[in-house]
Structure 1
């Protein structure tokens, strides 16, 4: 899966002021990512506000991204949830060309056991025509894909090829790297952890702040991959505060505000229950943007 090496971005889904998807802004955002050196794009992950898009909207966004990218970059589709039967159906029916993999978040809210998590992903793997990236983000899901479960899945299911890790546990990252099959990929799912995770052997990141600063994120990842950690540390430090501001009032609220200020997207509209960032956070973001510029 060379397509998953390097810097990926979890694209925001821009909205018009009436709440509909803003495809003009989405096209601008995709072109910006390609121009600035991103290696691949994730369409409708958490950052894409997928939970508040209906089935037809999701299909249209996936199709638009595939048509607009037109083979210029690999694409990953986010398809995940806590109803195994429904996710199996969605994955089985996914047939949009241009995608190289599926990113599937661990079931949330239900709080399954490790056996339940294993059986959930095994059921998905049995119908998927595309390779699968596990997505572990306990802060959102309320459960943790333990390294033993991730490795068990990697060994049992040949089309489970990677894990996007956002557990924040370096003990967990190290255990995955120690025990994984040689071709199974560890991907950072948390921007501030990218540099140290790549030092452990991760192959890159699926980034949020990369929406707004793709060249910096892509360069950081490349420098880490090349073993140049001096420059990578400089970029890491430059991005730390703006990354924090992207999340301080919810993802992707901060990232959308930055993109609006940059002129990449037209509005920073989000769908309830998310709301745009407060004036105080807007001011803090603008101060940090001025420093980075």
Structure 2
């Protein structure tokens, strides 16, 4: 028998130390109507910062989807700015009639930029993973299906070595591995020792902040009706302090990308346990 962890991020991540070998990255998407014909197809720019474009026919006419403004999960001060900046970028190129949709998404980037597809780790040869697609899910998802089908059925795959999860290529991986884990250590230590200023009364409706309340950190969100939602902002994955995502109204971990709703319920791994209520 064989099992495949195709869960975006492997929820069983200790074998293989995937939390140390992948960086969480967020991007933003706008669905727009424009006043000029848009070429059929999918496009991405060659220079940075990266933006991609594609047309999407709908019952109400053509919709143009534009993505960009990527950043490491949990490290942006006001994520709403990314939507505004993305819209300004589009308006600098096309006359925009309306912005009908907006959302953000998250993916993981491996140390060398190539997905991990294959056995989870030594001693877990009957458990397979497919992760770290670097926002190229349609292409890499198809590759993963092909490779894993061959492996499970006992056939040799010509691509298995390229995507092997246990690979390590110093020239391609070492620098990113060190940078990622130094950043994680900085965010962990900084979050633990920080003593954020402010008072509960300073949090306006629709906003969230980490505050010190009775000597303990509290992640506080005040909804638009004035109700306060308070959680322990310590991520249940490995103990980093989550940051408030103002655009999505979630608590996002800056270390490994776990996300929780305003009441602390897990909505994205690697965490599998909810944040505790304030005082819990």
In the superposition, the TM-score normalised over structure 2's length comes to 0.25
Higher normalized strand content (fraction of residues) = 2
The structure that has the greater radius of gyration is 2
Structure with the higher helix share, 1 or 2:
1
Scaled by the length of structure 1, the TM-score of the pair is: 0.24
